[in-house]
Amino acid sequence: MQVPIEDQFGVQPVVRPDRPASVRLTFLLLWLSESAFDLGSTLISFAIGVWIYSHTGSVQDYSLSVLAAAVSSMLIMPFTGAFVDRYNRQWVVVCCDLVSIFSTAAIVLALSVGQIGVEVLYVYTALSAAVASLRRSAVRVVISSFVPKDRFTQVSGLSGVSRAVVQVVAPNASGFLMAHLGLQAVMGVHLSLLTGGALLAFSALSRVRNAIRGRQSINPQHSFLVSARTSFQGAIDYLKDSPLMRSLLLYGALVQCLLVLATVMLTPLVLSTHSTDVLGLVMSVGVVGALAGSLLAATSIIKRHLMLWVLICDAIQSAAILVAGLSTSPVIWCVAAFACLFGGSASVACSGALWMRKAPLAQQGSVFAVLSASNLLVMSLVLLIGGYLVDAVLEPAFAAGGAWTHSVGSWFGTGKGRGIAFLFFVAGACGFLLSVVALASPKLRQLESLVPERSDD
């Protein structure tokens, strides 16, 4: 038996499985589906980058594949909310899976006959990224529709666990397959993972059919573009009417800057003075930290005071980035990487749970789209601005005989990599100060109790 929940919009009511075992099984199927999809996407992203660089020898061509994915994800975001909020989410996911499967099968076929160019892979990368963004938003809203609210933190934690495992497994597996069997083999594995993930998702979503119907109060006679604009405007209006959630969005975007900075700039920081073996060690320890933070959130330890957990974990993350900038020791870097990604993963899980609990269910697709778009925008700005600052300003200033050699350089040292270290220190100090200021704000600290829980209608 299932328990109906009245729907104020006149569409079919949400139905939740009333047995905990049924909820667990449905979530498990969706979690495995998302894990398979993420593993395949990471495998192929790594492999395509390697293939493009090995065939062209151009860093610019390699960078364009990354840019194609980022731009397509940004372009689909304004329409993601309308798709997820208006249409049956089961069929949104099914359509996404079919597009992914058929496009991947086409690439496998093209590789088998030897007729493929870099441009084709750009198009495939862009299409895959757009489909992944839409699918991920749909699945996230579906999970929010039937999982009990007190389990949202654990759900976010488990998602973080799978992402951390994927980040460890995928590059190594993809590198091995590329070295021994080539891109076609990686594509074949990706196709298998997509097919398995699609079957798991369809099975899970069939168990909660009524909970995945579109729920937005939009006139069905309106065009899709009108619906998209209305959906996006609804998310913006929600943020305008909820100052604390708007503050959480802005705060999260600023903290995201730190996490992107730490993960992207860590490579040149370590390689400026040490070997690739040291970089591999530091990054591996960091992934273990991310896994530990996600496991913490996945347990039942974190049940209350989610915003307080977010702020404390962000303070730990910022302090770790600050310390990393002050040292050149691999041991210190390993400790900092573990602490940074531990705090970052736990914070993301708690923050995600807050958004699932507070954002109106009828507009969650649009709200999650705005969140994703803000994170992509922040990532792009950090990469552009951070790279420019390091190459054009900081590294020359800390070089031997540079402008800051006898001032700030006396504290941080001079030579290659010290400009990056200074950027780490400044970013970490700013992030830590931001977290302390947020902790000093009673309203932000008590956001969980001050912002009303979303209704289930």
Distance CA 401, CA 50 (A): 38
CA 151 to chain centre: 20
Q: Dihedral sign, CA of 143, 147, 152, 158? A: negative
pLDDT confidence tier of residue 209, bands split at 50, 70 and 90? low
Is 60 exceeded by the pLDDT of residue 116?
yes
Token digits for 357?
């609990």
User: CA nearest 387: which of 340, 420, 412?
Assistant: 420
pLDDT confidence tier of residue 58, bands split at 50, 70 and 90? low
Which DSSP letter does residue 362 get?
A: G
User: CA nearest 194: which of 66, 28, 69, 41?
Assistant: 41
- pLDDT tens per residue, range 248-267: 888 888 887 777 777 677 77
Is 90 exceeded by the pLDDT of residue 319?
yes
Least confident of 5-14, 227-236, 320-329, 447-456: 5-14
Q: What is the pLDDT of residue 141?
A: 80
**Residues in contact with 249: Cβ distance below 8 Å, sequence separation at least 6, in sequence order:** 239, 370, 371, 374
Is 50 exceeded by the pLDDT of residue 16?
no
Q: What is the pLDDT of residue 83?
A: 74
Give the mean pLDDT of 335-362: 86
Report the mean per-residue pLDDT for the chain.
Answer: 79
Q: What is the pLDDT of residue 333?
A: 92
Which domains, and CATH codes, for the chain?
17-152+162-215 (1.20.1250.20), 220-457 (1.20.1250.20)
